[in-house]
Structure formats: C-alpha cells, structure tokens
C-alpha cells in the first residue's frame, strides 16, 4: 500500500519555445493545439505523476511545486490522442531528464496515459534520448472519466476479499470503479475503530483519510487532518519504524500544495 500512498503536480509563461515555470524545465509545445484535453481529476494527476516521475528512481526529488505544476498544466492542456508532449528537465551531470507524454486509444475504446522517459532502469542513468523499445522507465495509467488508475491498482489486479480495512479503503480510492468511492469513508472509520490499534496502523488509516479528504476537496478537514498528523508524528519522532509513513506524509503535503 505504501507504493500507492507515497505521493503526489499548476502557471504557464509563454515563450517562443513553449511553457515553463522554471529555468530548469523546457516544455516543448511547438505547434501543438491547446484545448484542456485531460479531464482527469487533479487528485490523481498530482498523486501518481509526482510520485512516479519525480520521486521514484530519484528522478527529480528536488522539484518545487512550481516545477511540477508547470509540467502538469501543460500536460492537461496539450496531451491528447493526436498530440504528444515532450518535457526536458535540466539535471546536473552529463544528460538531462526527458519525458514524453502520450495518450493511446485502444481498439476497444480504452484510453491510456503513458509517460516515457530516458531513464535506464538497468543502467541507472539518463540516456541520450527516449528509447521506447528498451528498458527505459515508463509508466502508464488507465483513463476512465475523471479517474486515472495505475495498472497495478486496477480492480482486476487485486483480491479485495483478502484485504484489511485500511488496504481496502486505499484500493477503492485508487481503482477505476467510481461506485466504490461512496464506501471509502465508512471503511476508514471501521479501520480506526479498534481500541488496540497499533500506532503505525493508526497513522496509516489517518493518512488514507487525509488522501480521501483531498480527493473530496474537503479543504477544512484537510487542514485539520494535516495538523493532527503533524502533531502525531512530532510526538513519536524518535520511532524509526515510522520513517516510511513520515515520507508518505511529506509527499502528501506536497500534493496539497499542488492542488491549492
């Protein structure tokens, strides 16, 4: 579940080259037609793409909210079945970080958002160009209305009957089935109910609750829950076993900044 929870991507300045909010980032729009193609809820965009394209593989962990936001805004505006969008991020060292966003529409009507990169998973380095046929790091997601779902979070990839309450609430939040969403809050309440709940399980359930509140755009509750979790981590800051959950929380706070 930490893979799904470890989170979290918006201002455009027009130049002859494209859009950019940072000198480190070049967004290559060229002659692309902008039309706000992607209808995916910002909750999913900021969650998945921040984690997958900035935190994983240590690709660009020092990205600022402005950096991430500029890329996401351009992606929402330009990426379609007809349009691919190329991003170049200046990195110290020999080669820059390249990302190509594309939407693939399959014969059955299913749409996939795909992010290709020039990061070699095997060599652990950035290559000269994006080579889609080799082991370059690639992520793809199913698009379904305003939901976006990573392939391993699809309902047919998980056995919901074997999950505990926290895992089930998390799975419902990130799967492709909108009809599951109305059950999430009650399941989280049940996860938090046992009096003998361990500290780590308590924090995990509260992190999922925070994610759910972000998803539902409950801004007041998001603020209160963030404050509560901040205090909870501060009281238990000497416990090394909570380090992973602390990282989840920090990434979730980054996501909150992006959505504001």
pLDDT digits (tens, 9 = 90+) for 100-126: 999 999 999 999 999 999 999 999 999
pLDDT recorded at residue 260: 81
pLDDT recorded at residue 100: 95
State phi, psi for 11 to the nearest 5 degrees.
115, 125
pLDDT at 11 over 60: no
pLDDT recorded at residue 18: 35
pLDDT recorded at residue 6: 39
**Section 188-208 average pLDDT:** 95
* Helix, strand, or coil (residue 71): helix
The answer to whether the CB of 41 falls within 8 A of the CB of 99 is no
Range list of H helices, 128-238: 165-174, 184-191, 199-215, 219-235
The answer to whether the CB of 53 falls within 8 A of the CB of 60 is yes
Structural tokens at position 96: 């820059």
Confidence of residue 5 (pLDDT cuts 50, 70, 90): low
pLDDT recorded at residue 22: 63
pLDDT digits (tens, 9 = 90+) for 132-155: 766 789 999 999 989 999 999 999
Between the alpha carbon of residue 102 and those of residues 25, 72, 222, the distances in Å are 18, 13, 32
Confidence of residue 17 (pLDDT cuts 50, 70, 90): very low
* Helix, strand, or coil (residue 27): strand
Measuring CA to CA, which residue among 63, 44, 26 is closest to residue 143? 44
Integer Cα distance of 98 and 113 in angstroms? 16
Instruction: Quote the mean pLDDT of the chain.
Output: 88
pLDDT at 213 over 80: yes
Measuring CA to CA, which residue among 133, 172, 132, 116 is closest to residue 4? 172
pLDDT digits (tens, 9 = 90+) for 43-64: 999 999 999 999 999 999 989 9
Longest dimension (CA), the chain: 61
pLDDT recorded at residue 91: 87
Between the alpha carbon of residue 200 and those of residues 56, 148, 207, 226, the distances in Å are 23, 28, 10, 16
Range list of H helices, the chain: 2-5, 42-50, 65-78, 165-174, 184-191, 199-215, 219-235, 243-259
Domain ranges of the chain: 2-152, 156-259
pTM of the model: 0.86
pLDDT at 12 over 60: no
């Amino acid at each position: 579940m930490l893979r799904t929870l470890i989170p979290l991507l918006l201002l455009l300045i027009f130049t002859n080259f494209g859009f950019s909010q940072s000198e480190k980032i070049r967004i290559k729009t060229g002659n692309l037609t902008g039309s706000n193609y992607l209808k995916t809820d910002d909750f999913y965009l900021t969650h998945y793409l921040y984690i997958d394209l900035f935190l994983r593989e240590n690709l660009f962990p020092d990205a600022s909210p402005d950096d991430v936001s500029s890329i996401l805004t351009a992606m929402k505006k330009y990426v379609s079945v007809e349009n691919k969008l190329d991003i170049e991020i200046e990195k110290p060292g020999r080669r820059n970080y390249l990302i190509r966003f594309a939407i693939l529409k399959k014969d059955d009507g299913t749409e996939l958002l795909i992010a290709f990169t020039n990061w070699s998973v095997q060599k652990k380095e950035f290559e000269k160009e994006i080579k889609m046929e080799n082991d370059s790091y690639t992520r793809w997601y199913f698009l379904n209305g305003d939901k976006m779902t990573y392939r391993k979070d699809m309902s047919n990839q998980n056995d919901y009957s074997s999950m505990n309450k926290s895992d089930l609430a998390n799975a419902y939040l990130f799967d492709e089935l909108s009809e599951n969403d109305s059950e999430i809050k009650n399941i989280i309440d049940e996860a938090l109910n046992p009096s003998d709940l361990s500290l780590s399980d308590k924090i995990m359930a509260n992190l999922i609750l925070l994610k759910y509140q972000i998803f539902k755009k409950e801004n007041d509750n998001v603020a209160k829950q963030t404050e509560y979790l901040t205090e909870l981590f501060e009281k238990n800051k000497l416990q090394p076993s909570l380090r992973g959950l602390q990282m989840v929380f920090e990434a979730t706070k980054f996501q909150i900044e992006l959505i504001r």
